[in-house]
């Protein structure tokens, strides 16, 4: 019997695909449905309502320049994952807007998206989490309008993801390790927070 020999480059590519696939399936979002205090639930519900197209506002020329530099650099880094320049531009503008609206660093949100969905808009995890930030459908019932199909809408998904992570950070008194664990449904375990932190560093300006 002859053994099929693949070029080294093909072997490396195949291994990379398998590793990435394993990471995506293992790390996809699996937030746990838990009882929320009424005040928390109401605040979170308000945070995700009224999603308007993001209108970027800048307090100074320096802020505007920072946005332009960040957007250009991130667009270059995202090109292989999002080939369409219009889609890429809209995505980055929405990430910037929704992350800052929630008081999060855009690079952290990009790191979370990389780990959760690999930047796939229509990703669905084995647990049923949806979209870029892998939001579980029960959130639409708990704080939204009960229509989980909307989680595939880019801005809606990013707003849910950023708002939920912000809530977990507040509940954990700013402890990112525990907040990320809760986001993934693995509070107290190091694997998921470490993956997001590593991805976060790669997306920092």
The whole-angstrom separation of Cα 148 and Cα 175 is: 29
What pTM value is reported for the model?
0.81
Phi, psi dihedrals of residue 88, rounded to the nearest 5°: -65, -45
Each domain of the chain, given as residue ranges in start order, spans 55-203
- CATH number of 55-203, picked from 1.20.1060.10, 3.40.50.450, 1.10.530.10, 1.10.760.10: 1.10.530.10
- Residue 71's pLDDT is 94
- Where the chain has pLDDT below 70, the residues are 1-30, 35, 50-53
Token pair for residue 59? 């307090």
- Residue 3's pLDDT is 41
- Residue 167's pLDDT is 93
35-41 long-range contacts, CB within 8 A, separation 24+: 36/142, 40/167, 40/171, 41/142, 41/143
């Amino acid at each position: 019997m002859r053994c099929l020999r693949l070029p080294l480059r093909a072997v490396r590519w195949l291994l990379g695909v398998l590793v990435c696939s394993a990471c995506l399936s293992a790390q996809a979002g699996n937030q746990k449905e838990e009882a929320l205090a009424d005040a928390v639930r109401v605040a979170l519900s308000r945070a995700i309502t009224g999603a308007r197209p993001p209108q970027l506002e800048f307090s100074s020329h320096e802020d505007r320049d920072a946005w332009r530099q960040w957007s250009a650099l991130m667009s270059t880094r995202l090109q292989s994952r999002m080939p369409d320049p219009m889609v890429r531009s809209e995505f980055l503008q929405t990430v910037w807007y929704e992350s800052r609206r929630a008081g999060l660093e855009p690079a952290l949100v990009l790191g979370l998206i990389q780990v959760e969905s690999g930047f796939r808009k229509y990703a669905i995890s084995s647990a049923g989490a949806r979209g870029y930030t892998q939001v579980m459908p029960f959130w639409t019932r708990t704080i939204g309008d009960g229509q989980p199909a909307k989680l595939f809408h880019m801005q809606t998904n990013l707003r849910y993801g950023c708002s939920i992570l912000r809530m977990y950070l507040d509940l954990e008194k700013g402890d990112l390790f525990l907040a990320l664990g809760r986001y993934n449904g693995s509070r107290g375990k190091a694997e998921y927070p470490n993956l997001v932190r590593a991805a976060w560093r790669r997306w920092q300006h």
